[in-house]
Amino acid sequence: MASDGPDRRDLLQTAALTAAALGVAPEALAQPAGAPKRPNILVILTDDQGRGDYSAFGTRDIRTPGIDRLCAEGVTFDNFYANSSVCSPSRAALLTGCFPDRVGVPGVIREEHPQDSWGWLWKDATLLPEVLGPAGYHSALIGKWHLGLSSPNTPTDRGFDHFHGFLGDMMDDYWTHRRNGFNFMRQDKQVIDPPGHATDLFTQWACEHLEVRARLDQPFFLYLAYNAPHDPIQPPPEALAKVKQREPDMTDKRARLVALIEHMDDGIRQVLDTLDRTGLAQNTLVVYTSDNGGVLANGANNGPWRSEKGHMYEGGLRVPGAARWPGHIAAGSRTERITLTMDIFGAACEAAGVKPPAGIDALSFLPALRGEADGEAERDRYFVRREGGLAYAGKTIEALRRGDWKILQDSPFAALELYDLAHDPRETTNLAASERQRFGQMAAALRGHVQRGGEVPWQPAHEPGQER
């Protein structure tokens, strides 16, 4: 059953304790602050949420009023793409504004298992909080990190002023928060072991954080990264019961996933309500998306597109996307702009009025929302995933979209495929044999991106012969 969230008095009391833990003086909390000149930035990232798994998409067996509210009060992206079909690379792209292999993260980081880890966040990469900090922003990450388990690659090592969440790739249980027996939950660098469902914890911490920031005359960047609806699919019993009562003919598998998403959506609703209650909403840019497509075996809905998480077909790369910024983004609008996860970096820099680092790949989507040209139609969109095991053998799979044409290799041992997405959005007809000239041009462009990514190492230095 959906919760109305914590009582405001409880939130205020907890916010004061949170502020004390952050070193914020009590007198600073007692002084209502004027609206900061620069906008606040809130990025909400979900984990493995399918393109069609929210009700504003038109999916009838799911209810997501929180996400739907963002769509109704802002813009819906009809063509939002994750930078990769798996987790770590998309997160690296979001926080650096670069194609992920250019910052050393072409695949999933599993630092606790170095023999099966396929990324290492490049020491010279500049993360978004490091860009926003000199402009006066306070930056916090609540939720999932998945870009390293130890220094120098933890959130507070890489520019975040505050971290409250977990460092790893996933939890084996939403209530115990362990991964292979290890506890990766942290508050800044301190090991913590809080009770409760992870989704509820991240929502609570986000609302408390917003209560604190609302009392300070300082703009903030909050990156709220839920681990839902990543497996294991463990919704609270009351959320599952609600779905089963409403949808008695739904399969158990689908019901569990829907309940997990709806529970997370209620958390998003609470966060939006906190923005309203604290007076922050009007001056806050909110961006919402997912890190990659959904898992079909878990009952995900990726819309009409082919395949799922982990693959280079559209179902693995297309994700939900919405943004709200009152007075800047028209309510109830839509955009066909082909937007990538890394473009959040560009939009955040533009909104904050700061110059992005030289050489990044991100483009702000804000000009397109104002009806201005932003040059996005001319660029190539490149996607990469490196993985181990017998299916990948440490090699990469890639895709490149140029205009409406897309070339991809979905297995390192398969041939390249070519699709015309304008006429074949479901990727049913491979045109590699019939469009030889275009195929050659696209293949050459893809190789160029592979070479460019190869300039940056994707694993830490180690001695020759050292076991990994």
* Residue from 146, 197, 209, 311 carrying the catalytic annotation: 146
- In the chain, what percentage of residues exceed pLDDT 70? 90
pLDDT at 465 over 90: no
Asked, for residue 436, whether it belongs to a domain, the answer is: yes
pLDDT at 15: 52
Residue showing tokens 């205009």: 403
Using pLDDT thresholds of 50, 70 and 90, give the confidence band for residue 468. very low
pLDDT at 150: 94
Residue after which a domain boundary falls, among 377, 404, 423? 377
The per-residue pLDDT for range 266-302, each reduced to its tens digit, is 999 999 999 999 999 999 999 999 999 999 999 999 9
* Whether 353 and 417 share a structural domain: no
* Whether 295 and 225 share a structural domain: yes
Mean pLDDT of the chain: 92
* Beta bridge partners of residue 163, listed in sequence order: 141
* Whether 146 and 173 share a structural domain: yes
Pairwise pLDDT comparison (214 vs 372), residue with the higher score: 214
Average confidence (pLDDT) over 368-377: 76
* Phi, then psi, of 182 in degrees rounded to 5: -100, 145
The C-alpha atoms of residue 162 and residue 186 are separated, in whole angstroms, by: 10
Given a contact cutoff of 8 angstroms between Cβ atoms, the answer to whether 125 and 103 are in contact is yes
* Whether 151 and 249 share a structural domain: yes
pLDDT at 100: 98
Average confidence (pLDDT) over 135-145: 98
* Whether 200 and 86 share a structural domain: yes
Amino acid identity, position 301 = N
* Residue from 71, 87, 98, 349 carrying the catalytic annotation: 87
Average confidence (pLDDT) over 398-416: 98
* Whether 66 and 172 share a structural domain: yes
Residue 262 structure tokens: 């709806």
Using pLDDT thresholds of 50, 70 and 90, give the confidence band for residue 3. very low
Residue 341 structure tokens: 């996860």
The per-residue pLDDT for range 37-84, each reduced to its tens digit, is 799 999 999 999 999 999 999 999 999 999 999 999 999 999 999 999
The C-alpha atoms of residue 205 and residue 211 are separated, in whole angstroms, by: 10
* Whether 207 and 68 share a structural domain: yes
* Whether 302 and 325 share a structural domain: yes
Asked, for residue 2, whether it belongs to a domain, the answer is: no
Which residue range is the domain that position 408 belongs to?
382-453
pLDDT at 148: 96
Asked, for residue 465, whether it belongs to a domain, the answer is: no
Q: What is the largest CA-CA distance in the chain?
A: 71
Asked, for residue 320, whether it belongs to a domain, the answer is: yes
CATH number, residue 225:
3.40.720.10
* Whether 373 and 416 share a structural domain: no
Half-sphere exposure of 253 (CA within 13 A, CB side): 7
Asked, for residue 467, whether it belongs to a domain, the answer is: no
pLDDT at 164 over 70: yes
Count of structural domains within the chain: 2
Residue after which a domain boundary falls, among 377, 394, 413? 377
Using pLDDT thresholds of 50, 70 and 90, give the confidence band for residue 461. confident
* Whether 117 and 138 share a structural domain: yes
The per-residue pLDDT for range 375-405, each reduced to its tens digit, is 666 899 999 999 999 999 999 999 999 999 9
* Beta bridge partners of residue 178, listed in sequence order: 183
Asked, for residue 1, whether it belongs to a domain, the answer is: no
pLDDT at 340: 98
Asked, for residue 350, whether it belongs to a domain, the answer is: yes
CATH number, residue 425:
3.30.1120.10
* Whether 161 and 279 share a structural domain: yes
* Whether 72 and 221 share a structural domain: yes
Spatial neighbors of 32 by CB under 8 A, at least 6 apart, are 215
pLDDT at 30 over 70: no
Asked, for residue 464, whether it belongs to a domain, the answer is: no
Pairwise pLDDT comparison (440 vs 3), residue with the higher score: 440
98 an active-site residue? no
Residue after which a domain boundary falls, among 377, 397, 427? 377
146 an active-site residue? yes
pLDDT at 1 over 60: no
